[in-house]
Structure 1
């Protein structure tokens, strides 16, 4: 096998990996966000922050504006995308093949809480949870009820952010929040690798707790409920609506 053929095979394998596709999506979003006026917005990319219990959380993009804080999760998926705000899993349909993935709005909720904890209670700006899909995807009907949650294509980000022109945060406050986040950002490569390992361990532990019939968010028992559309049942926290965990 020639060297060029081997190199081609390696490149094809790498290009098809989820991590590589994710990085491509993040770079596209980084390009789109570069079009924002730097005099009005502060944009941070690949933000790795300390979270609760000595853990870390990785955020794709954060935009600070007068209207509040936009927390952006990038999904470089194509095909048809189905989901709802409360469901545990969303669905991607591509070439007649279905596959599920974790609800990115739930993931972004953890990102927002990490930022809130770092900023403190003295400033309480609005938070906008934004899920940005590849423009080549088709976002089907989404059941999103929160007025501060958005599921859009990545090339619509700038329009969405600029449309929110409220003056909630002053330029001084935006600068202060930016410096606060930058001072707490973890940039060491070792920490990034530890974060990935931690995520895998957390997912396994969460699955173990759910299988034992316990809610991993609040510790109450899980109960079986019927879906509103009559398509089956699901496990939910018995402490609903105080806890909205769905297995």
Structure 2
């Protein structure tokens, strides 16, 4: 009986988003350890202040001579479909479909937080990288923007190492690393505060949508029709300036 309960608790924990996220980040961390530490400065699970006075938690940052790789990890399984412009992507497991927020958009906010800390240095390229774990198949994800990538975990090292541009000097690279270290929030309770703030923001966003208000620009949530298939959906009245949809 005790063994059964232990196994049951373990199964529940393994399916929780927090635990699945930690497993995915650990898998990516294992791969990033293979990078030459003389050529790359690597940060994991970094909590930084954001532009709006809040905080942002970044899975992985790799500072290189070619620029800064900002990496968002998704430990999902099944087929992954999406478009870099759409608000939500789709995870398909057999016939079951599950929507999730566009991770490229989420990671763009991480890049802006780093830019805020380092200042507007135009010569630094930023690479928006979303990595899916070994259980996922990137079946149909459309990405056309420069320096934007959606890859499997086995493609990650090759992606980073193939960028051989010498844009940032060794001295500048070390300076960036020290700046990020100095701004990292490591005090006791920082992570708990961040998670509480994220939950509150999500609740406020949901409340605005329920009231028919676009949480992105303040416009109205109205019925819209897809040009692709004629289906109806809820979206912002300020389209195309605002592409928020429910």
Length-normalised TM-score, structure 1: 0.91
Cross-structure match for 1:238: 238
**Cross-structure match for 1:91:** 90
Residue equivalent to 1:42 = 41
Report the counterpart of residue 116 of structure 1 in structure 2.
Answer: 115
Q: Which moved more, 1:118-127 or 1:180-189?
A: 118-127
Question: Are 1:126 and 2:130 counterparts?
Answer: no
**Number of residues of Structure 1 aligned to a counterpart in Structure 2:** 245
The Cα of 1:147 is off from its aligned counterpart by: 1.8
Contact 1:108 1:129 in 2 (8 A): yes
SS of equivalent to 2:76: coil
Q: Contact 1:220/1:239 (CA < 8 Å) preserved in 2?
A: no
Mapping of residues 86-235 of structure 1, within 5 Å? 86-122=85-121, 124-222=123-221, 224-234=223-233, 235=235
Distance 1:72 1:237, change over 3 A: farther
3-state SS of paired residue (1:53): coil
Shift, 1:94, TM fit:
1.1
Tell me the distance in 2 between the aligned counterparts of 1:12 and 1:63: 33
Per the TM alignment, residue 33 of structure 1 is displaced from its structure 2 partner at its CA by 0.6
- Aligned partners of 2:138, 2:41: CA distance in 1, in Å? 28
Question: Residue 71 of structure 2 aligns with which residue?
Answer: 72
**SS of alignment partner, residue 86 of structure 1:** coil
Q: CA deviation at 1:31?
A: 0.6
Tell me the equivalent position of 1:60.
59
Q: Structure 2: any 5+ residue segments left out of the alignment?
A: none
Checking the alignment, whether the CA contact within 8 Å between 1:237 and 1:244 is kept in structure 2 is no
Cα 1:221–1:169 shift into 2, 3 Å? farther
Q: Name structure 1 gaps, 5 residues minimum.
A: none
Contact 1:104 1:131 in 2 (8 A): yes
CA RMSD of aligned residues (A): 1.9
User: Shift of residue 87 of structure 1?
Assistant: 1.1
